[in-house]
Amino acid sequence: MTFKPAQWPRKLRSTEWFGGTSRDHIYHRSWMKNQGLPDHLFDGRPVIGICNTWSELTPCNGHLRDLAERVKHGVFEAGGFPVEFPVFSTGESTLRPTAMMYRNMAAMNVEEAIRATPLDGVVLLVGCDKTTPSLLMGAASVDIPAIVVTGGPMLNGWFQGERVGSGTHLWKFSEAIKAGKMTQEEFLDAEIAMSRSPGTCNTMGTASTMASMAEALGMALSGNAAIPAVDSRRRVMAHLSGSRIVQMVKDDLKPSHILTRQAFENAIRTNGAIGGSTNAVIHLLAIAGRVGIDLTLDDWDRLGRDVPTIVNLMPSGEYLMEEFFYAGGLPVVIKRLGEAGMLHKDALTVAGEPIWDQVKDARNWNEDVIVPVERALTDHGGIAVLKGNLAPNGAVLKPSAASPHLMQHRGKAVVFEDIDDYKARIEDDSLDIDETCVMVLKNCGPKGYPGMSEVGNMGLPPKVLKKGITDMVRISDARMSGTAYGTVVLHTSPEAAAGGPLAVVRTGDVIELDVANRRLHLEISDAELAERLEAWKPSHDVPASGYARLFHDHVQGADTGADFDFLKGCRGSAVPKDSH
Ligand code: FES
């Protein structure tokens, strides 16, 4: 798009707090000065918030205080006034029932924290899975200049001479134990080998995917996504982003200029090329909802369908984020999309330039990691959106993580009414199940298992694993970790707890999955389905009070991003009912 920078100098938002001699101006400045701040910082220069998701309970973001200092260097250097502030940090590996339950709360926290304070621009310091979308959602709803800096991935994990990827090997090792191929002692030894350094998951899981989405959307400087957390260039990226946000404030370059339909289409195609997480579907739909872009599940299917996956990273491939960075990182991938006619080259970025200008000189230094199209991991790397009488509003499947022989499959349903039912019965050798069956898990959608837990890649029954079988068709309304894999149908909408058809599937029903034709069908008559739905009654627990109740009552379906109904849209930066 054509962007015309605003005139500079001009009066900024922060001058409402700091730029005068009234009692209130003195009140705002005086209390700030207890931190030892000199007068000239209040002279009308851009005030830059550093919105920090640092927390020792979000270990993936545990190093962000150091990065915040680097951002401050850049802000000062460019003539801005940096102020760091904390926001709710959604740590994937620690929060229960799931960090996703708190994404919307964190987004609300970020939105209100930005709007209520004297900020002219904001640096979003993120990393772990939900921290990136929640801060993007909150900042988009305020729409002051914003730039993303991610914490970067951990170094490669190594165990018994082999690369081990965050999450991916957690699932692999736990299946190996059930199959009798690994001892518990070995599993314990692998624990620290999987997490060798500060940073986010080192696979192309949700954190790396969302870092890539931020870059592809144009909301982070080019090259940001893949730099390892401990690489000195991560600090340089933080420093440069600090400098850049000051100029963005002067130019008045806001998220609404960058987060256009073209930007979302670029991100969807990028997700296909990197073999990104299915979680990106939900998060991008939610971010788009904040800026009034009518993005749909059908856009995901249409735009991603012909994008080959060319990034050879776990869980779909062999390598890890460290190697992706050494190979050239995301700019190489975006350049490839541009060369293939799959990129809106003029989409604007935080750099103030079109995305193509940012990537056109990128070079690929390792064709085993970023492979040529002829050696693509899959020719159809996007997210497949399935529809049918079992998923009228859609369900998703990640072809690059699925088994080719199961992409067209008909099998007998083995139904688990909820996650407790699954846990109680899955290891029972008398369970009537084999590898031809379709495992169905209900009541794990946004309302059913508050937050829509990442349990969709439910482990296979031990008696099947012991035969050497590693994949079966699984269907649920849950999500799946971006580090996981398998022929797993997710986000089935409407969810079971909202009375979707998934709620009335019975053990013994036959289900047909046909990925090529995007079909998910329960083989019963329309009359039978209608009769079952008529007789259906909710069986999930409705939280009595508190945030869980608010979540249950206001969360929307996965097919539209699982945002709260009252949070959609951009509310701007004006302080409501300002008494000053
Ligand atoms: Fe935090 Fe994976 S658990 S990035």
Q: What are the tens digits of pLDDT across the range 520-544?
A: 999 999 999 999 999 999 988 899 9
User: Hey, which of 92, 155, 481 would you mutate to test ligand 1's pocket, going by the most ligand atoms within 8 Å of its Cβ?
Assistant: 92
Among positive and negative, which fits the CA dihedral 419, 280, 165, 200? negative
Ligand 1 centroid–CA 310 distance in Å is 23
Strand partners, 159: 162
**Percent of the chain at pLDDT above 90?**
93
Q: At residue 482, does pLDDT exceed 90? A: no
Query: Residue 565: which of 157, 248, 286 has the closest Cα?
Result: 286
Cβ burial of 579 (10 Å; 0-12, 13-18, 19+) is exposed
Ligand 1 centroid–CA 202 distance in Å is 9
Cβ neighbours for 49, distance < 8 A, ≥ 6 positions apart: 83, 84, 85, 113, 114, 117, 119, 121, 122, 123
- Do 307 and 269 contact (CB within 8 A), yes or no? yes
Task: Please state the pTM of the whole predicted model.
Answer: 0.96
- How many other C-beta atoms lie within 10 A of the C-beta of residue 512? 18
Q: What are the tens digits of pLDDT across the range 23-36?
A: 999 999 999 999 99
pLDDT of residue 1: 60
User: Hey, which of 166, 195, 283, 479 would you mutate to test ligand 1's pocket, going by the most ligand atoms within 8 Å of its Cβ?
Assistant: 166
**Percent of the chain at pLDDT above 70?**
99
Average pLDDT, the chain: 96
Residue 182 backbone phi and psi in degrees, to 5: -150, 145
Q: At residue 128, does pLDDT exceed 70? A: yes
User: Hey, which of 128, 209, 212, 453 would you mutate to test ligand 1's pocket, going by the most ligand atoms within 8 Å of its Cβ?
Assistant: 128
Residue 129 CA: nearest ligand 1 atom is: 4
Q: What are the tens digits of pLDDT across the range 256-279?
A: 999 999 999 999 999 999 999 999
Work out whether strand 162-164 and strand 157-159 pair parallel, antiparallel, or are unpaired. Answer: antiparallel
384-543+550-559 under CATH 2.40.110.10, yes or no: no
Domain extents for the chain? 15-155+199-375, 158-194, 384-543+550-559
Residue 59 CA: nearest ligand 1 atom is: 1
Residue 483 CA: nearest ligand 1 atom is: 2
Residue 208 CA: nearest ligand 1 atom is: 4
How distant, in Å, are the alpha carbons of 223, 247, 328, 349, 367 from that of 363? Answer: 12, 28, 6, 20, 10
Q: In what order do the strands lie in the sheet with 81-86?
A: 81-86, 47-52, 121-126, 146-150
Residue 100 backbone phi and psi in degrees, to 5: -60, -30
Query: Would you identify the CATH topology of the domain 15-155+199-375?
Result: Rossmann fold (3.40.50)
Among positive and negative, which fits the CA dihedral 360, 364, 368, 369? negative
459 DSSP assignment: P
pLDDT of residue 580: 64
Ligand 1 centroid–CA 232 distance in Å is 21
Q: At residue 579, does pLDDT exceed 80? A: no
Strand partners, 47: 81
Among positive and negative, which fits the CA dihedral 440, 445, 451, 452? positive
Residue 92 CA: nearest ligand 1 atom is: 3
Report d(CA 224, CA 246) in Å as an integer: 18
Atom 2 of ligand 1, nearest CA residue:
201
Residue ranges around ligand 1 (CB below 6 Å) = 60, 92-93, 128-129, 166, 200-201, 205, 207
